[in-house]
Amino acid sequence: MTINKTAIVTGAGSGIGKAVAIALLHAGWNTVFCGRRKHVLDMAVADAGPAKAKAVAIACDVGKADQVEAMFADVSKLFGRVDLLFNNAGRGYQTALIDEIPVDIWDDVLAANLTGSFLCARAAFGAMRRQQPMGGRIINNGSISAHAPRPGSVPYTTTKHAITGLTKSLALDGRQFDIACGQIDIGNAMTELASKMATGVPQANGSIAVEPLIDVERVAEAVVYMAGLPLDTNVLFMNVMATKMPFVGRG
């Protein structure tokens, strides 16, 4: 069991973020539940139940640099170091062609999915290379959309392809500081965001089809595995998906 290490999970109020934060907490990580709504984070912490590590809820809009810096400063005061960042916070948008997507929606998706990941990784990287002992791990939440888009998903798909570039760059730049960076690409975990899969979503051939889903706990287990490796070992990319998801051969 990992003891006396500190993890920050963004978007921890619900869905994948909540499941991962709770799983890390029960694995012995002091865990910071980060998200925009404090009351939602408090409920997520309450849902975790008894644990051998400490859980803290901190409200933060990851798309705003001042809030991210303040959050990491608070974590440093509370725990003294940062050992893990799970860059999970993000949002999508309804299926739409590019000329039907409002510019403000594009800006909002980029702020949440890409700028937020950059700002949190920037703060984590700085903390990890200056703390003693030096080092830590950053895990970015990519997506199947980091490999192949769904129809009508320009903002979301663009950000997820960019997350792959962020992951590779951090994995390279972190070597000299014992900072490992990996990415988990998730396909059809059962969350509120993905619930529409159960009723049918557009396919590349123009049809609408129901897609299989997996329990979000499988994702949480995968992240805990990645997080628990020694820093001389890195899962650069992991794809966790429903076995019968129409990804291989999509299109």
User: Catalytic residue numbers?
Assistant: 156
Q: Which residues lie across from 56 on neighbouring strands? A: 32
Buried b / exposed e along 138-162 (16+ C-beta atoms within 10 A): bbbbbbbbbbebbebbbbbbbbbbb
Rounded Cα distance, 199 and 162, in Å: 29
Rounded Cα distance, 76 and 69, in Å: 11
- Token pair of 155, please? 């903002």
Buried b / exposed e along 8-28 (16+ C-beta atoms within 10 A): bbbbbbbbbbbbbbbbbbbbb
Rounded Cα distance, 208 and 13, in Å: 30
Judged by DSSP in three states, 106 sits in helix
Which pairing describes strands 208-209 and 201-202: parallel, antiparallel, or unpaired? antiparallel
DSSP 5: E
Judged by DSSP in three states, 68 sits in helix
Helices 116-130 and 65-79, packing angle to 10 deg: 30
Helix-, strand-, coil-residue percentages of the chain, each rounded to 5: 45, 20, 35
